[in-house]
Structure 1
Amino acid sequence: MGILDIVREQDEDRKDIPKAHIIVPAEGFCVKLKTANKEKVFVNICQSDKVPLPRDISEDELRELLEDIEGSPPFKIPMSIGEPHAELDAAGKGCTAYDVIIHPEFLKKVRSSDLFETFLMTVVVEGLESKYDTHLERNWIVLKNKKAMGRLQEQYVRASSRPAIVEMDDPIPSLKTNLIEEVEHPVVSEERLSGENPVYKLSTVPEDGKPEYLVAEIQLPKLRSSRGLYLDVGSDLLCLTSRSHTYAMETLLDPPVDEQTTVAEFNRDTKVLRVTMPMLKKAAPS
């Protein structure tokens, strides 16, 4: 029996695998825009209190952040970006709609401030482009008499987040990297292991003395970027899949690690994903 078979057997009994829950979004407002090919697209900005509320900042603080994104205190907008769904517009022609869910309190701020509305839509457009490899125009219209295009879709999201993958040697920091904190969507179990098993190495750091970190170095030569990679780290399990099904792997971790403080970096030059996992500290005896 291989590691993957052992992992599958243990899945049902594991309590540390991130759980998923359903978000049923409520209407907010609807935005119309076009792709670079002039195809009509609608974005439903929806709301749910199951999406975290971002840090409260003023318009002045937002202006300062936009003037110096890299040097400003961290500010990210938690959101859930749903799958595209086909709809018919008012003329009966086919179009594409996306549902983007944010917290209701942040929605109120967006609706009461042109600056926050423009800021949100700029971030959402880049998020959609990054997630679905599409190209959208930066001109949009907020529809006055329509709160949503089509039926809003339920979204399955993770109750706990997985490590964000930071790309190294990227000369142009994107808005998405700095301003979006997308609520994680679970990988469908049947698709989890679809793909080539990459070459990887697990090592402890430091090599001499008491180890403090478990480091995974995963070779992904067929990828140009980390876009579409899904990384899950539990206390004793690492799982990596890709939306393109290029790579897929699961490996047991020993000793156990602290998944909450795990970080991941993808080097676009070497095509290596480095996952640094702090060792799980044992509780002191009482």
Structure 2
Amino acid sequence: MSESLEGLNLSGDEIKRISDAMKDEKFRKLFVEYAEELSDPENRRLYEEELSRLENERGMDITFVNPTPGYVLKTSLNGEQKAFINICQSDKIDKPSGKREKESGKNGLMWYLPHSFAPPREDLDKNGQKCQVYDVVFHPDTYRMAESNQRFKKLVEDTALDGIEKQFAAKLDRKNLKRPNMKFKGTPTATVIRTKSQNGTPNTENEFLKKLPNPYEDKVAPKKVSENKIVEEKNKRNSESSETKVSGPTVPKYSIIHRSELDLQEYTNNQANKKSTRPKELVVTIQLPLLKSAASADLDIFEKRLVLESKQPAAYKLDIMLPYPVNDEEGSAKFDKTKHSLIVTLPVIPVPDKLDEELTTSNIESEGTDMLKDSVVENKPLIEKLVSIIPSNSIIYQKPDFSFTQDTETVNFVINVKNISRDSLTTDFPTPYSIHLKFLSLGSGGFPMNYSLYIEFDEDCQIAEDHCSVDVSTTALVLLILKSKESRREWNGFKAGVDVNSLEVR
């Protein structure tokens, strides 16, 4: 008994009381009678009549929408858990309508698809895991047209998905949309549409009605869904342009945790006990809500990169750079079936002993963050010493965080990296439409970080190399690029990466 109540979030005392009550034959008999009374259509009709009369006295008209099951869409919600969307029908919803319109010189058919949403509810999938369920109700004519026309069916489904994301601030995975062989997830439940009454005025003398909370301000039709009502709205969609282009696999959610051993000696003032800020392990957790196991996923680990890809039963692809070099031969991975997540543990390659020795003897005090900043600004030998320790052919670069603005004449990049060494900064123009920056920075732990940023514009976006400037401060680097005279206009964008082989569109 207690196992079947796990999903109800009950306390141990509540579970015990329910279990004891179900052992009583008299209680079981009363419970069955209560359940039959709730499911009796006549009792439901009386309840709806009484509720309609009560709402009418408050100046509101209500319409009960009893959804007729249709079919189900299955996907994931916010990249974390499963979600089911029930596509239903009811004659209480307005009929669809369409009209011919001309846009961009082409004739098209503009459709109006009235529909309603029920508030999302929590349910369990067949494995007993929690999931979210949404009901979207259309008129039967809309449903019949969707059954006979695949393009119209796509329009109906896009309308449902767009509405759910807008009304409930949800993010649905459209790239892994499935259609399981089921007509409805859960039990169909009637919901209501409340509108301001056109006949009569509210009864303001009834003291009981005054105490009841008004569901809407100024007694107007609701614009948002709450716990006990749904909203009917007309969604304007163009049948020729509504097909959402969904291509490529979904990028799953992930997190990276830096894990290290804690030693109390690290918190003393003895410099001999100071260790590098580099962690011992990286723990990468990847959310895969539509996978049942890791058997269908391919995982590749490189020294500075992690790649995961699956095609069935859901298409996922994750390709990320790791913040530290790892030992790709000694890592481990396990799949958590309860959370539908893959946990990858990767040992980090330690800092070279020579660099550890140099950093330990550099007399950097525990409160020496300001000292490090001064050494960067004043070009003291500390940076030069650290640069000379690391062979140039073994440097591992990472891409810095940056922001980007432009006008018709200039492009401005702000690179958000602190304590940049001016002496380490190099600027190169590989092509007339690209620029490559390299520099070194000292973190607060005294560990040098090497950065590289390769920026490439379109070929017709030429750079005036002689008029570009770089300004370095203690908190950031500002790169000002002057556009050549023949290229002075708004540029469409650019590609950026660590080098020319790792460029990504921005």
User: Which TM-score band applies after superposition, normalised by the shorter structure?
Assistant: 0.3 to 0.5
TM normalised by structure 2 equals: 0.28
Larger relative helix fraction: 2
TM normalised by structure 1 equals: 0.47
Q: Could you say which structure has the greater relative contact order, defined with CA pairs below 8 angstroms and 6 or more residues apart?
A: 1
Larger radius of gyration: 2
